[in-house]
Amino acid sequence: MVESKVTLYHNPRCSKSRNTLAILQKNGVKPLIVEYLKAPLNSRQISELCKKLKMSPTKLLRTGEATFKEYYSGQSLDDKDAINAMVSHPILMERPIIVCGDQAIIGRPPENALTILKT
């Protein structure tokens, strides 16, 4: 496999994340894997990811997670609140995220990984 400048923000317990990794590897990409649940991102890193995704932090939140419902149910979160929630509870960050240079994409569906490889 070819070493690349692709980073995968990965949760190995997530089937979409595992499938995205498999697609990358099948296409000869050996990404830098960041298991963000073991190595949580800080607020600056999440902000940078959002810029690369061209997405607001509130859109990156997994609002269906039990953790979200437990801590934030009924609250109206702004972007700063959303970032703080993801810093405090990394499970709330959408996954997987593929970063290639200044671009990023969410691997849902996993085939989205192919679109970023073509750029």
| The two three-digit tokens of residue 87, written as one number | 């810093």
Helix (H) or strand (E) holding 6: strand 2-10
Q: Which residues carry out catalysis?
A: 14
pLDDT tens over the chain, length 119 residues: 444 689 999 999 999 999 999 999 999 999 999 999 999 999 999 999 999 999 999 999 999 999 999 999 999 999 999 999 999 999 999 999 999 999 999 999 999 999 988 76
Residues 6 or more apart whose CB falls under 8 angstroms from that of 17 comprise 8, 10, 11, 95, 96, 107
What's 113's domain CATH number? 3.40.30.10
| The two three-digit tokens of residue 71, written as one number | 């801590």
Closest by CA position to 60, among listed 45, 75, 38, 39 = 45
Q: Is the pTM of this model over 0.85?
A: yes
Q: How many domains does the chain have?
A: 1
For residue 109, the enclosing domain spans: 2-117
